[in-house]
Amino acid sequence: MSEGTAGSGRADRVQPAVFLERQSYRRRRLMDAARLLPLFGALLFAVPLLWPVAEPGSPPAAETVLMSDAMIYVFVAWTVLIAVIALFGLSTRLWTRNDSPHGQGRD
């Protein structure tokens, strides 16, 4: 008897369609990508750890990476991360302003 009432209750309810507006969907994906930036940065900074280094007392091999090249890589990766974070912040700010209830202007 309880099965009939539970079954009819499910049939009467209509599931609402899941629909996100395009702007809010893009903003959420941008925020998801921004949450992954620290991981991406850590991976970029860990790449020089995989490069071969010369053993102390042995002649430098052709496949070793110079310390100056490694430092240039680290500073370029740091600069790229700063630029990407600035772009993410600017994009988020612009999209949030457009999604506000007051429209384009600020109060």
Contacts of residue 48, Cβ cutoff 8 Å, sequence gap at least 6: 65, 70, 73, 74
Q: Residue 77 is inside which H or E element, if any?
A: helix 67-99
Q: Where are the domains of the chain?
A: 18-47+66-100
Residue carrying the six token digits 């629909």 = 19
Residue carrying the six token digits 């099965």 = 3
Determine the pLDDT at residue 82: 95
Determine the pLDDT at residue 47: 93
Handedness of CA 3, 5, 6, 12 (dihedral sign): positive
Determine the pLDDT at residue 5: 52
Determine the pLDDT at residue 75: 97
What pLDDT tens digit does each residue of the chain (107 aa) get? Answer: 555 555 555 556 777 666 667 667 777 888 888 889 999 999 999 999 888 877 777 776 667 888 899 999 999 999 999 999 999 888 878 877 766 555 554 44
Determine the pLDDT at residue 88: 86
CA angle 97-41-80, nearest 5°? 65
pTM above 0.85, yes or no: no
